[in-house]
Amino acid sequence: MFQFQRTMGLAKTIITFTKNIRKVRHFRYFTSYRPNNSHTIFALSSGSGKCGVAVIRISGPKAKLAIERIVGDKANIKLKPRTAALLKLYEPNTQEMLDKALVLWFPGPHSFTGEDIVEFHVHGGSAVISSVLTALGSIAGLKPAQPGEFAKQAFVNGKLDLTEVEGLGDLIHAETEVQRRQALRQMGGELGQIYSQWRTRLIKCLANTEAFIDFHEEENIEDDILDSVIAEISKIKNEVSAHLQDCRHGERRRDGLHVVIIGEPNVGKSSLLNAICQRPAAIVSTIAGTTRDVVETALNIAGYPVLLSDTAGLQNTSDVVEKEGILRAMARATAADLKIIVLDISKHANILLTSPSFENFIASYMGCLGVLQDQIDDSNISKSAPGFFSQLKSENQKTIFKTAGETDTYITFFKSFEEQSSISKKLRTFDLSNILIVVNKSDMVADNKILDFIQAHSDVMCRISCKSGDGFDSFMKKLVERIQNLCGNPTVGSPSLTQARHRHHLNKCQQYLTEFPPYLQNDVVMAAEKLRLAVRELANITGAVSTEDVLDVIFRDFCIGK
Ligand SMILES: Nc1nc2c(ncn2[C@@H]2O[C@H](COP(=O)(O)OP(=O)(O)OP(=O)(O)O)[C@@H](O)[C@H]2O)c(=O)[nH]1
Ligand SMILES: [K+]
Ligand SMILES: [Mg+2]
């Protein structure tokens, strides 16, 4: 019991019940899944292909034996922990020399995996590598590592929790600066610590609740014990909520920000995509409807990972293939983190100038394109303008695209918005943080009024020419600012969750914590069960409790040798 109290640092209340300890419920939530994994594994840990130096790693109880078999007696004399020694490697059966290598010896538990580890830094030719791997395979008790098996050993031996393992995986896959910084921070354990401290605090609440259940009838238990539990749980719930409301910053930084280019046909969407990624990724032509499918490119923009998509021009069409392309474009635009809406100055200048207000302009143009429907409050709209908007909602392709490209109709559209003052109000609340309007082909029109209009709305609008390159630098500056705002800084503030898996368990944890107080009124035992489930959800994130299935999913993404 003493050990138990000391380990968990439980609330004082619990300590007063040692004599009745046999009654305390079993603390199932302390159990962790630690599969017995004592075999010795080996693999090439550096990348494949010809290279100057290749690193072959061995981890497990027979690592020492492996050095003795491959290096011979000299190994024992020359090898000091964590110090490199230049030694000859031999085939253990024929004694043929294989290579001269740097050999490093990391005795467990002070190693990456917690097991004994040996590293051979051999010459990086494929024949050298395969001869050493074959020699290792011939030693009884050694087996080739599965993908991610070194990291799994580290997890099993308590060297890394699951969020740290994920951080390590992300670091290996990081392609941009921001991904690298975020992964490094997660691998350092900061994210895991947030979840662990919530879990520890919830375990204390659970222990107090269970103490109440077990002893409140016979012992002089403090009356307000449950009040303090309720207060603490409400505090934790608020902290989890704040952590969840992070605008998906961490996930965007890990998986890439989705940016979609949309607009009418021939406005220069594909030209813009090509200019941003500096290669002819999408076909450009004078024919309206050139782009049919979504053209996606993965880019590194100012250190942020971005998935930039060019889409089919939005218009009414009877062509079934183009129609499908338009549906895909709209689906992409709806799901995107940032929409770049492209206009053609030679075609849309008139709308810009005759618009009664900027909001109306945006609403009418994008309403016509059918891309802001997700931001329009349905109920309000159907009340205010049942005919117009319900038609727009339900038949957005059929009805709206019929009119696309006709300036007069746009003007009629936004004038009708203006007449509906309640709708206008709604439109003014559009979230402009995820929209960037690009007025292209500025080489074709040089009208001061238009330039002034664009300048007056420079927070969401810019003018460029994909043809001459004019305005492109300031567009890119604006784009980078948007991306920075949408992704946040990975090294500032508390660390963000980075995976849908974290979000899933945190949402479930929240749900159980919400259910706790109402249950407490009628059924304390059930309330305690809710708390236990909440603790379990947090334990799932860090791997304090996990199943083989979960581990398989996480380690599967690693390559062999990691
Ligand atoms: N003058 C001028 N022409 C441009 C500019 N940008 C693009 N164009 C031309 O406009 C035409 C259409 O360009 P695209 O990039 O194919 O347009 P899009 O929006 O992708 O067209 P769709 O895929 O058919 O929807 C091409 O002939 C381009 O060369 C520009 O800044 N100035
Ligand atoms: K085109
Ligand atoms: Mg195109």
- CB 289 near ligand 1, within 6 Å: yes
Interval 68-84: pLDDT, tens? 999 987 767 778 899 99
CA 458 from centroid of its chain's CA atoms: 31
Q: In what order do the strands lie in the sheet with 461-463?
A: 295-301, 304-310, 257-263, 338-344, 435-440, 461-463
Ligand 2 centre and the CA of 492: distance in Å?
43
Evaluate: CB of 280 within 6 angstroms of ligand 1. Answer: no
Ligand closest to Cα of 265 equals: 1
pLDDT score, position 8: 37
Mutate to test the pocket of ligand 1, among 269, 271, 285, 346 (most ligand atoms within 8 A of CB): 271
For 435-473, the pLDDT digits (tens) are 899 999 999 988 888 888 889 889 889 999 999 999 999
If you search the block for the tokens 């085939």, which residue do you land on? Answer: 91
DSSP secondary structure code for residue 543 in this structure: T
Which residues sit opposite 88 in a β-bridge? 100
Question: Which segments of the chain have a pLDDT < 70?
Answer: 1-38, 75, 219-221, 223, 355-357, 359-360, 362-431, 546-551, 553-554, 556-561
What is residue 331's predicted lDDT score, i.e. its pLDDT?
83
Other residues' Cβ atoms within 10 Å of the Cβ of residue 39: 16
User: Of all protein residues, whose CA lies closest to atom 2 belonging to ligand 1?
Assistant: 441
| HEC assignment per residue over 89-112 | EECCCCCCEEEEEEEEEECCCCCC
| C-alpha–C-alpha distance, residues 540 and 538, integer Å | 5
Q: What is the pLDDT of residue 116?
A: 95
Determine whether the shortest distance from the Cβ of 265 to ligand 1 is under 6 A: yes
Q: Give SS3 for 117.
A: strand
What is the reported pTM? Answer: 0.77
Q: Is 270 in the pocket of ligand 1 (CB under 6 A)?
A: yes
Pick the atom of ligand 1 nearest to 283's CA. Answer: 16
Query: What pLDDT score was predicted for residue 267?
Result: 95
Collect residues with CB below 5 Å from ion ligand 2.
Answer: 266, 285, 290
* Beta strands, E only, 370-486: 435-440, 461-463
Give the ligand 1 atom nearest the CA of 444.
1
Q: Is the CB of 271 under 6 A from ligand 1?
A: yes
E strands along 188-336, which residues?
257-263, 295-301, 304-310
- C-alpha 249/C-alpha 227 separation (Å) is 35
